[in-house]
Chains A and B, each alone.
Chain A
Amino acid sequence: MIPISWYLLLSAFLFACGVTGFLIKRNIITLFMSIELMLNGVNLSFIAFATRLGTLDGHIFVFFVMVVAAAEAAVGLAIIISVYRTRETLNVDRVNLLKL
């Protein structure tokens, strides 16, 4: 049996990739993908714990996370399209009007 620490390490690696990608990439779609990566990293540790402890709670949580992520993806993609239509760019550093 694969030890739980391996799942957790993979999960942490995925989450770290997501954070790094979010911080260093500029394209909004890439940021979006980074967010999905972070969510799935977390999902993986949920599943790993749920399997290990033999409960259903973790599975249910993962479903909720996936539902929210789907909804977020729908709204987010709509926002991205609308941003691209008005600003003709997907560079997140240039979408910086919301400031003092």
Chain B
Amino acid sequence: MNSIYFQPWLIPILPLLGALTNGLFGKRFTKTAVAAIALTATAASFLVACVQAVILLQSGLPALEQYYGTWIQTGDFSVNFGIYLDHLSLIMMLVVTGVGFLIHVYSVAYMEHEGGYYRFFTYLNFFMFFMLTLVLANNYLLMFVGWEGVGLASYLLIGFFFLKDSAANAGKKAFITNRVGDFGFLIALFLLIQHFGTLHYGTLFVIQNSALSHMPVEATAGVLTAIGLLMLVGACGKSAQIPLYVWLPDAMEGPTPVSALIHAATMVTAGVYMVCRSNAIFSRAPIALLAVTIIGTLTSFFAATIGITQTDIKRVLAYSTVSQLGYMFMAAGVAAYSASIFHLMTHAFFKALLFLGAGSVIHGIGGEQDMRKMGGLRKYMPWTFWTMLIATLAISGIPPFAGFFSKDEILWQAFSSPHGSKIFWFFGVITAFMTSFYMFRLIFLTFTGEYRGAKPEAGSSHGSHDDQGHHAPHESPWLMLAPLVLLGVLSIIGGWVGIGNRFEHFLDPVIQKVSVEQSVAQNGEAVTKPVSDGEGAAEESKGLENILMGVSVLVAFSGLGLAWFLYVKRPELPSRIAEASGGLYTLVLNKYWIDELYSAAIIGPLVALSRVVLWQTIDQKVIDGTVNESAVAARDVSQIIRQQQSGLIRSYAGWIAAGAAAVVAYMVWMGTR
């Protein structure tokens, strides 16, 4: 590909330039200038990304690659700076730049009254740079750079209101939890280097697929399984899956646009992207795949149950994000990578919209995040209501909104894929019901009924949102509404690309076909799944698919109905149900005490170990002790020796005489020997 228009390096570099300009000189710029620089950088990046996408599609090649020089060269092992553009990174790149741009626009108005305006946009552009590096890299090491970079940007943005202790702590929590995952990812990279001698995507996947060194599907745990499981650890950290999901709900301490961009639409999907990118490895390691599915299913289920009881609007969305990420893992785990990426894309649209809508609500009523103090906002902010309603319909999986297509595809794959099982499908459907329920609960609590908020007194501080005190809920400025509307449109039509499996075929070049029968047979299972080898089987499977589709739509509507019944028709019921269920409700309300469990089981002992052994013993006693004691010893010895310099001449003379006597005695002894 020699077109001079193929310059994909511009895509990550432009936001980097924006970040550098704003970061170095932003303090002296006006707010308008800061916003203009950040927006220009992101918009330009999006436009370049569109051009590159067109070039790739017109070329008809499965992937385009461009090198920019060698990064590491030691012996046989080398790593390049390079960009790898295939259909997978194309989707990711367009989602990141597109949604990222809309959120930048939104932030211009949302962050208007906050301090550190230039800092915010610097971080945001900085994030875009690393996220695009992550998705466009042509090898795992460069991907890891982006991976760490987005972690850093996430830390900086969660702790954006760093004067608040809770924000600073949430930032630390996110960063440290991610380190646990990165540890696994890094070891996976070492294993890749050891066994394949390269981290370059193309080479790596060709090695595995070539006739000479064809890697078979591993029946038992082998090196690919180890790599897959370690990658899964990394993905769990970044994409907030059990057991490393705890950081994401706390990450809501950051400004709302950050929650939308980083902690819903883009960064947290990096783990999903990584698993799908590594499909050649995962498809050959059924055990790792099964682990991915189980973790995804459990996460989506548990997070959904927690989401039902939360009252903070952003936390509901946070748990919903964890739950939806679980769906994506479930799909990736049943080797339905395209379904996973499809849901990733639609989720980016409607979850970004939900967060931005929530931000608009919070903005409009002066910083309140508790849904119990909202209500009746529909008449105050109709635009926000309608766009959020679209997103809610989308996430609940109600046709023809975007989420329906992707979620239905995932459920169908979970049911029918050779790696899938009815259990996963069952949990998926239950989760879909809960998703629909808690999302409509959010909508009903927030937008219907009477406004329950107290009149905010003027000049009160609102935690994360430093506003000047509103007297009544009001609609947000058009700069915030425009992204909402655009995302609303995407949330409606975004799923239509999946009709007729077009999306799936779009990703075909990316996904390596690993023989399914071989995989299943080696997995020790009988081939019971309907394999579409004939007309009848295909018909039958089509019919089954339609039935399952009907079930999931039914489930979505019943969730809606239950939410309507409990929160509109009989609003006194929920608290009575909560009372009736007693311990169970408390358990879920407190998020299963997972945070408490972690701090008791891991953090507490670690802190105690660090305090007692590392700090008080090794640092204070051994290291400080060595230094201090040698100083004390030198002083004590000197104290003894200095007594000799008494100033008394006769004492000196005595020593000289004694010395002379010793010399004489020695010589006499030598002479007589």
Contact = CB atoms under 8 A, between A and B. Distances in A.
A23 B651 CA distance: 8
Interface string B642-658: 10011111100110010
A96 interface: yes
Interface string A59-100: 000000000000000000000000000000000110111111
Interface in B637-673: 642, 645-650, 653-654, 657
Contacts of A95: 649
Contacts of B653: 22-23
15 contacts: A19-B657, A22-B650, A22-B657, A23-B650, A23-B654, A23-B657, A26-B650, A31-B649, A92-B648, A92-B649, A93-B650, A96-B646, A96-B649, A99-B646, A100-B645
Interface string B170-195: 00000000000000000000000000
Most buried by B among A31, A95, A99: A99
Nearest to A34: B653
A96 B648 contact: yes
Contacts, number: 27
A26 B645 CA distance: 18
A100 B642 CA distance: 7
A93 B650 CA distance: 8
Contact of B645 (A19, A93, A99): A99
Contacts of B650: 22-23, 26, 92-93
Contacts of A96: 646-649
Chief secondary structure at chain B's binding surface: helix
Given A22-B650, A96-B649, 16 more contacts: A22-B653, A23-B650, A23-B653, A23-B654, A23-B657, A26-B650, A31-B649, A92-B650, A93-B648, A95-B649, A96-B647, A96-B648, A97-B647, A99-B646, A99-B647, A100-B642
A28 to B, nearest CB: 9
Contacts of A22: 650, 653, 657
Contacts of B647: 96-99
Nearest to A20: B657
A50 B117 CA distance: 103
Most buried by A among B642, B645, B647, B654: B647
Interface in A31-55: 31
Interface string A5-36: 00000000000000100110010000100000
Most buried by B among A19, A31, A97: A19
Interface residues of B, number: 10
A50 to B, nearest CB: 22
B440 to A, nearest CB: 87
Contacts of A93: 648, 650
A95 B649 CA distance: 8
Interface string B11-42: 00000000000000000000000000000000
A93 B647 CA distance: 8
Contacts of A23: 650, 653-654, 657
Contacts of B642: 100
A36 B312 CA distance: 103
Contacts of A98: 647
Nearest to B648: A96
A91 to B, nearest CB: 11
B638 to A, nearest CB: 10
A100 B650 CA distance: 17
Nearest to A97: B647
Contacts of B646: 96, 99
A99 B644 CA distance: 9
A23 B657 CA distance: 9
A19 to B, nearest CB: 6
Contacts of B649: 31, 92, 95-96
Nearest to B657: A19
Nearest to B643: A100
Contacts of B657: 19, 22-23
B643 to A, nearest CB: 9
A38 B591 CA distance: 98
Nearest to A99: B647
Contacts of A19: 657
A98 B649 CA distance: 10
Nearest to A24: B650
A23 B653 CA distance: 7
Interface in B424-456: none
B452 to A, nearest CB: 82
Question: What 3 A-B pairs come out closest when comparing CB atoms?
Answer: A99-B647, A96-B647, A99-B645
B514 to A, nearest CB: 84
Nearest to A92: B649
A96 B651 CA distance: 11
A51 B672 CA distance: 26
A41 B286 CA distance: 104
Interface string B448-478: 0000000000000000000000000000000
B415 to A, nearest CB: 91
A93 B649 CA distance: 7
A13 B649 CA distance: 23
Interface in B32-57: none
A23 B646 CA distance: 15
A31 B657 CA distance: 14
A18 to B, nearest CB: 10
Nearest to B646: A99
